[in-house]
Amino acid sequence: MSALLRLAAASLLARRRTTGLMLLALTLSCALLFGVEKLRSEVRASAYASVGAVDLIVGARTAPETLLLATVFHYGALSTPLPRAVETRLASHPAVRFALPLSLGDSVAGLPVVGTVPAYFAHLGITPEGPLAFQAGGPFAGDEEVVLGAEAARRLGKELGDALTLSHGLGAESFLEHEDHPLRVVGLLAPTGTPLDQRVLVSLEALHAAHEGAASGASENENISALLLGLAPRAAALGLAAQLNRSGDPPLTAALPALTLAGLLRWLGAGEAVLQVLSAFVVVVALAGMLAMMLASLEQRRREMAVLRALGAGFPTLLFLLLTEALMLTGAAISLGLGLVHGGLALAAPALQSATGLALQDPGPTAREGLLALGALALATLSGLLPAWLAARRALMDGLSPQS
């Protein structure tokens, strides 16, 4: 057995040029397969992590997707404001664990500014239920303080204790600068790999003050953009959403973030599937190349087979030997492909994070990747079976003296 394995390895090594090229093609195709899978799972994990512990998003009547994209991913704007009275009303609902008001629409140097309340930090940890982790400092307490996401802090170049002024509206053009009323950075959030990293978080009052000038404070009939609700029990979300979506004063939309996200991702899933099928095809093509290489080498290896046959090798032995070669090649390619993807991620993660803010958490090969690897091995066995069977069969027919 081990003698046969060594024989297979020696034979592969002896043909190292073709073997090497084949290995390269197989490795790259496996890396593509695993890379696409990694990207797919990473995008999904990051998207779901962005939703965090929020069970329901409530805003003025609009599409649930619009509500989700605007509040979680800062994509698009919510045109109709939500009276703050709704928050007061919902906060007293028995199933509501927390109701966090969001005020959106402002930016600093292209980074979204989110007005909210200090409780935000207690509830929206990325690991569900937990509080948000801080690199330094803590939540804002007053209306002259600001908390920065990890990426926001890096891009603004601000540290704890630095001063920051706000501008109104998305975009770089700033309004009347309130140089006289700057905010102080009191907290820096730890990286989460979600859009939270880009956020600049202030109190509703601070945001209001920036809009109205220092003149007025927060008032009872001020408006917010949306509400993030955490519920207990979480299953109450469906009923509450239906109830809120029916209410007409004011007209509301309540979106179940996980459900809405799943809908969006399902749409994205078609694209993913195309990518996955394509990368699987690339693996199939590489395996077909291996098949062609093995078939081409059979004629040269007829003598080799006759020698092995003379030494007592039977049909199963020759079949095993040739299949082992195919599996060794594919196994090496899979390991190298995995190494390439995960090693590459480990090397590229810091650069990627500073360039895109995407914090890749790579826990190593996943079960799905294991399944893909098994699939590739099974495919290799199938494609190796043909030349192996042909060669072993012919070696039996050839007898001791192959006629070439």
Partner 1 sequence: MGAGSQHPSEGPARALVCCEALSFCWPGASAPTLSHLSLRLQAGEAVLLRGESGQGKSTLLSLLAGILSPSSGSLTVGGKDFHALSQRQRDRVRGADIGVIFQQFNLLPFLSILDNLLLPIGFSAERRARLAATGTPPEVAAEELLCTLGLSLKALGNRSVGALSVGQQQRVAAARALLGSPSLILADEPTSALDPKNRDAFLRALKGAQTARGAALLCVSHDPALEPYFDRTVTLDRLQGGRP
**Measured from the CB of residue 296, what is the shortest distance to ligand ATP in angstroms?**
21
Distance separating alpha carbons of residues 326 and 33, to the nearest angstrom: 19
The C-alpha angle with vertex 169 and arms to 163 and 172, in degrees rounded to 5, equals 65
- Distance, first Cα to last Cα, the chain: 30
Residues that bind partner 1 (CB under 8 A): 3, 7, 10-11, 13-14, 303-304, 306-317, 396-397, 399-401
**Measured from the CB of residue 304, what is the shortest distance to ligand ATP in angstroms?**
17
* 250/399 with CB nearer ligand ATP: 399
Cα–chain center distance at 254: 26
Cβ neighbours around 355 below 10 Å, total? 9
**Measured from the CB of residue 317, what is the shortest distance to partner 1 in angstroms?**
8
* 213/314 with CB nearer partner 1: 314
Question: Does residue 403 bind ligand ATP (CB under 6 A)?
Answer: yes
Question: Does residue 92 bind ligand ATP (CB under 6 A)?
Answer: no
DSSP state at residue 142: S
* 192/324 with CB nearer partner 1: 324
Answer whether 97's CB lies under 8 Å from 235's CB: no
* 141/310 with CB nearer partner 1: 310
* 2/401 with CB nearer ligand ATP: 401
Question: Does residue 302 bind ligand ATP (CB under 6 A)?
Answer: no
Residue 225's Cβ-count burial label (10 Å; 0-12, 13-18, 19+) is buried
* 2/403 with CB nearer ligand ATP: 403
Binding-site string for ligand ATP from residue 119 to residue 138, where x marks contact by CB under 6 A and - marks none: --------------------
**Measured from the CB of residue 308, what is the shortest distance to ligand ATP in angstroms?**
17
Kindly give the pairing relationship between strand 111-116 and strand 163-164: unpaired
**Measured from the CB of residue 310, what is the shortest distance to ligand ATP in angstroms?**
15
Distance separating alpha carbons of residues 159 and 60, to the nearest angstrom: 36
**Measured from the CB of residue 356, what is the shortest distance to partner 1 in angstroms?**
49
Residue in the structure block whose two tokens are 């140097």: 109
**Measured from the CB of residue 393, what is the shortest distance to ligand ATP in angstroms?**
12
Answer whether 31's CB lies under 8 Å from 198's CB: no
Secondary structure class of 223 (helix, strand, coil): strand
Q: Which does 174 bind (CB under 5 to 8 A by kind): partner 1, ligand ATP, none?
A: none
* 221/401 with CB nearer ligand ATP: 401
Q: Which does 315 bind (CB under 5 to 8 A by kind): ligand ATP, partner 1, none?
A: partner 1
* 2/404 with CB nearer ligand ATP: 404
Kindly give the pairing relationship between strand 200-203 and strand 111-116: parallel
**Measured from the CB of residue 300, what is the shortest distance to partner 1 in angstroms?**
10
Distance separating alpha carbons of residues 26 and 21, to the nearest angstrom: 9
Cβ neighbours around 310 below 10 Å, total? 10
Q: Which of the residues 382 through 401 are near ligand ATP (CB under 6 A)?
A: 397-399, 401
Nearest Cα neighbor of 193 from 89, 41, 54, 29 is 41
Answer whether 115's CB lies under 8 Å from 206's CB: yes
Q: Which residues bind ligand ATP (CB under 6 A)?
A: 397-399, 401, 403
